[in-house]
Amino acid sequence: MTARAPLLAALLAACGGPAPADAGPPGMDAGIDAAMDVDAGTDAGVDAGSDAGPIDAAVWVGPGCDPTVGIECDGDWTDRCDPACAPTDCCSPQNGAFTCMRRTAEGACPTADIWLDASRIDGSYDFTWRDFGAGACTLVEGCVGREGRRRLLTFATWTPNTGTADLYLGNPAEMTSLFTYSACHDHFHFDSYARYELRNAVTGEVVAPGHKQSFCLMDSYSYPDADIRGLVYSCEDQGIQRGFQDAYFDYLDCQWVDVTDVPPGDYVLRVELNYEHRLLESDYDNNVAEVPIVVRPDDVTLACPPRIRQGIQRNCGLRNEGHFACAPGTPLVVGCSSICGVGACTGDPFVRVCDGADDPGCDASLALAADDNSYCDMELCGLGGDCCPRAELVCPPSGDIVVFSGSYVPTATSTCDVVVQPR
């Protein structure tokens, strides 16, 4: 009910997702370390320019990081520090700046550790329908099975970095070994950041593959307190600070698995990060999360999962208020607000109106109109104003609308005596 802060909304819009403030301070120059090649013709791998010395005579390589495809698998961004670090130190990205950090006795450098916060998925997922045309970017990039109306399992993916160094990538335009430019979306895709698949809960069989092309690794919030202060990395200078987290919200393209052809039942959503080990981490075992998923029948009146987000976009826990005939093209008012002169309500409900012929199930993404607070008294609901809804729309060509209502907070109670009248 409470609107997001304008600043955060602007930041989200900047990169097609949750974006921080300006890029990091001077010194975090973009691109791959020029001295990172191991073999001729390879532009990724262990930094060959590490300082010589007793502690790193044999260059340390992070266990699990694949030096044939990885970035800085030794954790030492040698020529980013000026003056150069001593042989006993590493040049390490630390909260937005490169600094000399002491190696361990084994010669190891500080490393990032990203992992999946499964609590952001468990009980918080939802299902929605969307229409995809033949030229849709999401279809071109394989995020849905085919064109047309598809049912999607949507969820958020949060990846904190609780390691001892930033996860640093830099400017994707200069990192062709890790990023692919998408002319369709006009941005760079990180090739192997995360992959999703839905499995049968009993047999483990993959019933619906999915993927996420992460085009912007960045600071979304601090961890664990989810503060937006202190953000450093952005779409132009990519990374995740230690003590911060990246967040991919469920409204972003490809942040889903296409379950159109999956029957209702019990499943497991498997999410895996950094699955090609291109990014150096201290622990790869925490990069996989498996979350139980119940694929519900396509019915928005069914009960919601326990931690579904509040608001008018959810597709569960609604009441069917019935079909209403109207003259096609006629402007309509649909609501249950006595202050507005259209019905009456108790509690804090919302209304959703759909074409009764095209979408009788009334999915949020296909609604003709939806409303939470009428503002007929020019006051916010939370400040004592009208909490009853009033939506405006035009009668569709079918001459049939269907109206659903629900409580803004899924666990709250409300009533909505709906009235439909010409506007």
Give 243's contacts (C-beta < 8 A, 6+ positions apart): 95, 161, 162, 222, 223
d(CA 414, CA 412): 7
Domain end marker among 280, 295, 310: 295
Is residue 240 within 8 Å of 167, Cβ to Cβ?
yes
Domain end marker among 260, 295, 330: 295
Q: Verify that 395 and 272 share a domain, yes or no.
A: no
64 versus 352: the higher-pLDDT residue is 352
Using CA atoms, how far residue 158 sits from 74, 255, 402, in Å, is: 26, 12, 36
Classify residue 111: in a domain, yes or no.
no
Strand 344-346 to 419-422 pairing? unpaired
Classify residue 101: in a domain, yes or no.
no
Least confident of 8-12, 177-181, 237-241: 8-12
The pLDDT value given to residue 102: 97
Confidence of residue 54 (pLDDT cuts 50, 70, 90): very low
- For 345, the domain range is 319-422
d(CA 200, CA 208): 9
Instruction: Give 151's strand partners.
Output: 129
Burial class (CB in 10 A: 0-12, 13-18, 19+), 423: exposed
Nearest CA among 61, 35, 42, 24 for reference residue 280: 61
Using CA atoms, how far residue 216 sits from 73, 123, 163, 235, 270, in Å, is: 21, 26, 20, 5, 22
Q: Percentage of residues in the chain with pLDDT exceeding 90?
A: 64
Q: Verify that 216 and 289 share a domain, yes or no.
A: yes
pLDDT at 9 over 90: no
E-state strands within 11-118: 89-94, 97-102
Q: Verify that 245 and 350 share a domain, yes or no.
A: no
Taking only the tens place, the pLDDT of each residue in 326-369 is 999 999 999 999 999 999 999 999 999 999 999 999 999 999 99
Q: Verify that 279 and 343 share a domain, yes or no.
A: no
What counts of helices (H) and strands (E) characterise the chain?
2, 24
Q: Verify that 280 and 183 share a domain, yes or no.
A: yes
pLDDT at 57 over 80: no
The pLDDT value given to residue 75: 95
Residue 92: both structure tokens together: 């390490």
pLDDT at 271 over 50: yes
* Angle, vertex CA 265, rays to CA 132 and CA 361, nearest 5: 45
Q: Verify that 331 and 376 share a domain, yes or no.
A: yes
pLDDT at 29 over 60: no
Other beta carbons within 10 Å of 309: 13
d(CA 198, CA 181): 27
Region 254-276 average pLDDT? 95
Region 55-67 average pLDDT? 70
Mean pLDDT of the chain: 85
pLDDT at 22 over 60: no
Taking only the tens place, the pLDDT of each residue in 364-387 is 999 999 999 999 988 888 888 889
Region 88-105 average pLDDT? 97
Q: Verify that 413 and 335 share a domain, yes or no.
A: yes
Classify residue 283: in a domain, yes or no.
yes
Q: Is the dihedral of CA 134, 139, 144, 149 positive or negative?
A: negative
Residue 80: both structure tokens together: 């980013």
Taking only the tens place, the pLDDT of each residue in 160-199 is 999 999 999 998 888 777 787 777 767 777 778 899 999 9
Least confident of 41-45, 344-348, 409-413: 41-45
Classify residue 140: in a domain, yes or no.
yes
Q: Verify that 263 and 348 share a domain, yes or no.
A: no
Burial class (CB in 10 A: 0-12, 13-18, 19+), 43: middle
d(CA 156, CA 202): 24
Confidence of residue 213 (pLDDT cuts 50, 70, 90): low
Number of domains into which the chain is organized = 2
CATH number of the CATH domain containing 394? 2.60.120
Region 65-82 average pLDDT? 90
Classify residue 385: in a domain, yes or no.
yes
d(CA 139, CA 146): 7
Domain end marker among 241, 262, 295: 295
The pLDDT value given to residue 235: 85
122 versus 331: the higher-pLDDT residue is 331
Classify residue 246: in a domain, yes or no.
yes
Q: What is the DSSP letter of 279?
A: B
Q: What is the pTM of this model?
A: 0.78
Classify residue 9: in a domain, yes or no.
no
Q: Verify that 397 and 263 share a domain, yes or no.
A: no
